[in-house]
Amino acid sequence: MTRGGKCVALVAAAGSGNRAGASLPKQYARLAGKTLLAHAVERLDHPRIHETRVIIGTGQEEYYRESGVTLPHPIIGGPTRQRSVRNGLEAIAAEGGADIVLIHDAARPFLPGTVIDRLIDALASSDGAVPTLPLVDSLARVDDQLCDNLSRENIHKIQTPQAFHFDIILASHRQWDASTEATDDAQVARAAGYKVASVAGSHSLEKVTLADDFAAAEQRLAASFVSRTGLGFDVHAFAEGEDLWLGGVRIPHARGLSGHSDADVALHALTDALLGAIGGGDIGDHFPPGDPQWRGAPSSRFIDHVRGLIASRGGRIDHVDLTIICEAPKIGPHRLAMRQKIADLLGLPLARISVKATTTERLGFTGRSEGIAAQAVATVRVPEEL
């Protein structure tokens, strides 16, 4: 095996367990707005990995489509983890095979790149390699009460990903007695007579399984977030025969605003503020005014889009502050409805939404009642590497 051989990462995400207390399989539960599976796949974006494939359970296709993972053609797993991994290996073999495979669990979302390097390097002198951590806690056998203490000498926790020469682990899985449950792929390889090396694992690779694990993972992610602020500004002229939409609310008024969509100047400013916070360009980049599909479109679709974009990058919207600038109509009677609509669109509590109004003391185009302007500020927390 050479260091330059094709390396494929295979993510086992076919489980149906919900020990975390969620109503869906834990690999599709969200951490900081991103699914556990998406976090795991993202960490496999490494220069020594050429391709990543995902194994999902039967009937999980819709979960997968909504998981934020954009890799096509997931592999359908089997009734056990061992059978699922074999299905994945057989699929890779049918598509031309690989030289190295890294088999990873979706429930370990924080894989450091250094562990990937250690695993692949270890294959230069071993059939397989797994990351492990020595146990530091005391061990004891427990029946109804505490019994004998056990020695922890040479006892390690086994983690994933586990790396193997592809032909070796495929042959090992083909030989495995499917009536026996395998604890991991290293056991399958050892049972076939192959040697598996141990490399230093990482505390970052602790498995996320229970509700408390998710809470701890959320805290870990929060510590790696930075706060960013975006500013948006927009202007639309009044036009006869148009409805007036502001902040997602239809406002009774003699004139509406002119624009390619519904011309909701408030939501347009807010869209630009949110995009600015993640360096995502501006509203025109995502919704070109010359594109006929946006003619008359509700601006709530723009907010939906940018909210999803922030979530896909693992970001969180903390607060938005919107100022509407006009002589008329009066904004005060509609402020609460606007705040509630924006809160609903962003999935935020009402307390995180501010809507204000001001005039320009009859100066400028807004002072002459030629149109309405709006400016917005949005605060978004994003992963530090974004």
With vertex at residue 196, the alpha carbon angle to CA 2 and CA 198, rounded to the nearest 5 degrees, is 95
pLDDT per residue over 191-235, tens digit each? 999 999 999 999 889 888 878 877 777 777 766 678 999 999 999
Place 361 in a pLDDT band, splitting at 50, 70 and 90: very high
Range picked from 183-187, 221-225, 257-261 for highest mean pLDDT: 183-187
**Which has more pLDDT, 152 or 83?**
83
**Interval 374-381 mean pLDDT:** 96
**Interval 326-342 mean pLDDT:** 96
Q: What is the pLDDT of residue 99?
A: 97
Q: What is the pLDDT of residue 2?
A: 39
**Which has more pLDDT, 148 or 87?**
87
**Interval 348-368 mean pLDDT:** 95
Residue 302 has pLDDT above 90, yes or no: yes
Domains and CATH numbers, the chain: 7-223 (3.90.550.10), 225-383 (3.30.1330.50)
Q: Strands 128-134 and 196-200, how do they pair?
A: parallel
User: What long-range pairs does 54-57 form, CB within 8 A, spacing at least 24?
Assistant: 54/10, 54/11, 54/13, 54/106, 55/10, 55/11, 55/12, 55/13, 55/14, 55/84, 55/85, 55/87, 55/88, 56/13, 56/14, 57/13, 57/14, 57/15, 57/16, 57/25, 57/84
**Interval 49-69 mean pLDDT:** 95
Q: What is the pLDDT of residue 197?
A: 97
Q: Is 147 exposed, middle or buried (0-12, 13-18, 19+ CB in 10 A)?
A: exposed
Q: Is 162 exposed, middle or buried (0-12, 13-18, 19+ CB in 10 A)?
A: buried
Neighbouring-strand partners of residue 320: 353, 378
pLDDT per residue over 311-326, tens digit each? 777 788 999 999 999 9
Neighbouring-strand partners of residue 100: 7, 165
pLDDT per residue over 131-145, tens digit each? 999 988 888 888 888
